[in-house]
Structure 1
Amino acid sequence: MNLFKKTYWLIYPILIVVFMFIFDQLYTMDNFLLKGGICAVLAFIISPRKKIILTQTGKKKQITWMFLKDPIVLEQ
């Protein structure tokens, strides 16, 4: 989990590249902007979200992702 805390922001660009490869294999399209836009939207939907939660001790940053059971709390 420590590695995920430091590199969660890399997941979004990696997902775009993975979706580009998958989309290129399934459907050949010449329009790069349309293919990139579709892949970016899919990557945005699946990528982790960073939220700021207000607690009694103060604000805390929290990472939630659909593939994780519990949210990860970042130190401030």
Structure 2
Amino acid sequence: MEYLAKKPGLVIFFLMLIFITILDLVFKIDNSIIRVVIAAPLAAFLSPRKKKIKTQAGDKTQITWFFLKEPIFVD
């Protein structure tokens, strides 16, 4: 989970593929532009977020994700 949280571009790509496939096969949306317009915000909402936090030990990067309860800290 930490590897995926550190690679938000990879997560967004796979979520986009999953949502486009679901919209195509389950909901039968044939227009590709509409599928991308619906899938892109969903993937962006569910992707990991990076935030810089100043601590006494120095700056750290905090990664929060919709699926994780506790944030991941990266030096």
TM norm structure 2: 0.82
Distance 1:45 1:5 in 2: 14
1:71 match: 71
Count of residues in correspondence between the two structures: 75
**1:17-61 Cα shifts (integer Å, max 9, x gaps):** 000111112222332122112101100111111111111222111
Judged with a 3 Å threshold, the aligned counterparts in structure 2 of structure 1 residues 7 and 37 are, in CA distance, closer, same or farther, namely same
Point out where structure 2 has 5 or more consecutive residues left out of the alignment. none
Aligned structure 1 segments of 4 or more residues deviating by more than 2 angstroms: 1-9, 26-31
1:25 match: 25
TM norm structure 1: 0.81
CA RMSD of aligned residues (A): 1.8
Point out where structure 1 has 5 or more consecutive residues left out of the alignment. none
Percent identical residues: 43
Question: Structure 2 matches for 1:1-76, cutoff 5 A?
Answer: 1=1, 3-4=3-4, 6-75=6-75
